[in-house]
Amino acid sequence: MSFPWANEYKPGNGLTQWLDEKLPLPRFVYNAVGAGYPVPRNLNYMWNFGVLAGFCLVLQIVTGVVLAMHYAANAGVAFDSVEHIMRDVNWGWMMRYAHANGASAFFVVVYLHIFRGFFYSSYKAPREMIWLLGVTIFLLMMATAFMGYVLPWGQMSFWGAKVITGLFGAIPLVGEPIQIWLLGGFAPDNAALNRFFSLHFLLPFVIAGVIILHIWALHIPGSSNPTGVEVKTESDTVPFHPYYTAKDGFGLGIFLLIYCAILFFAPNALGHPDNYIPANPLSTPAHIVPEWYFYPFYAILRAFTYDFFFIPAKLMGVLAMFGSILVWFFLPWLDTSPVRSGHYRPLFRKFFWFGLIPTMAVLFYCGGAPAAEPYVMISQVASIYYFAHFLIILPLVSSIEKPEPLPFSITEGVLGKDESAVLNAHPAAA
CB of 145 to ligand HEM, least distance (A): 4
Query: Whole-angstrom Cα distance, residue 17 to residue 115?
Result: 43
Using CB distances below 5 to 8 A depending on partner kind, what does residue 144 bind out of ligand HEM, other proteins, none?
ligand HEM
Using CB distances below 5 to 8 A depending on partner kind, what does residue 227 bind out of other proteins, ligand HEM, none?
none
Is the bond leading into 126 cis (omega within 30 degrees of zero)? yes
291 flagged as catalytic: yes
Residue numbers at the binding site for ligand HEM (CB under 6 A)? 57, 60-61, 64-65, 67-68, 71, 82, 96, 99-100, 103, 106, 141, 144-145, 148-149, 151-152, 200-201, 204, 207, 271
Catalytic option among 122, 162, 200, 291: 291
Using CB distances below 5 to 8 A depending on partner kind, what does residue 336 bind out of ligand HEM, other proteins, none?
none
CB of 311 to other proteins, least distance (A): 11
Q: List the one residue out of 357, 356, 344 whose CA is nearest residue 407.
A: 344
Catalytic option among 219, 241, 314, 343: 219
Catalytic option among 81, 122, 157, 223: 223
Q: What is residue 353's DSSP assignment?
A: I
379 flagged as catalytic: no
22 flagged as catalytic: no
CB of 278 to ligand HEM, least distance (A): 13
Catalytic option among 113, 157, 248, 272: 248
Ramachandran area for residue 90 (φ above 0: left; ψ -120 to 50: alpha; else beta): beta
Using CB distances below 5 to 8 A depending on partner kind, what does residue 371 bind out of other proteins, ligand HEM, none?
other proteins
Nearest residue (CB) to ligand HEM, 19 versus 199? 199
CB of 206 to other proteins, least distance (A): 17
Alpha helices (H) in 219-345, listed in sequence order: 240-265, 295-303, 313-326, 331-334
CB of 96 to other proteins, least distance (A): 27
CB of 149 to ligand HEM, least distance (A): 5
Using CB distances below 5 to 8 A depending on partner kind, what does residue 363 bind out of ligand HEM, other proteins, none?
none
Nearest residue (CB) to ligand HEM, 67 versus 363? 67
Residue numbers at the binding site for other proteins (CB under 8 A)? 159, 162-163, 166-167, 169, 180-182, 184-187, 189, 191, 195, 281-284, 286-288, 302, 305, 312-314, 317, 371-372
Catalytic option among 99, 124, 214, 247: 247
Q: Cα-flanking dihedrals φ and ψ of residue 238, to 5°?
A: -130, 155
Query: Whole-angstrom Cα distance, residue 36 to residue 408?
Result: 25
Q: CA torsion angle for 273, 275, 280, 282 (degrees, to 10)?
A: 60
Is the bond leading into 204 cis (omega within 30 degrees of zero)? no
The 3-state secondary structure of 61-103, one letter per residue: HHHHHHHHCCCCCCCCCHHHHHHHHHHCCCCHHHHHHHHHHHH
Query: Whole-angstrom Cα distance, residue 211 to residue 136?
Result: 10
Q: List the one residue out of 313, 222, 249, 235 whose CA is nearest residue 39.
A: 222
Using CB distances below 5 to 8 A depending on partner kind, what does residue 305 bind out of other proteins, ligand HEM, none?
other proteins
Using CB distances below 5 to 8 A depending on partner kind, what does residue 241 bind out of ligand HEM, other proteins, none?
none
Burial of 275 (0-12, 13-18, 19+ CB in 10 A): buried
- Contact between 121 and 335 under an 8 Å Cβ cutoff? The reply is yes
Using CB distances below 5 to 8 A depending on partner kind, what does residue 180 bind out of other proteins, ligand HEM, none?
other proteins
Neighbours of 287 (CB within 10 A): 11
Q: List the one residue out of 104, 184, 202 whose CA is nearest residue 149.
A: 104
248 flagged as catalytic: yes
Neighbours of 95 (CB within 10 A): 22
DSSP, residue by residue, 189-233? -HHHHHHHHHHHHHHHHHHHHHHHHHHHHHTTT----TT-PPP-S
Residue number with the smallest Cβ distance to ligand HEM: 64
307 flagged as catalytic: no
Nearest residue (CB) to ligand HEM, 271 versus 332? 271
Nearest residue (CB) to other proteins, 166 versus 323? 166
CB of 61 to ligand HEM, least distance (A): 4
CB of 196 to ligand HEM, least distance (A): 10
Residues serving a catalytic function are 219, 223, 247-248, 291
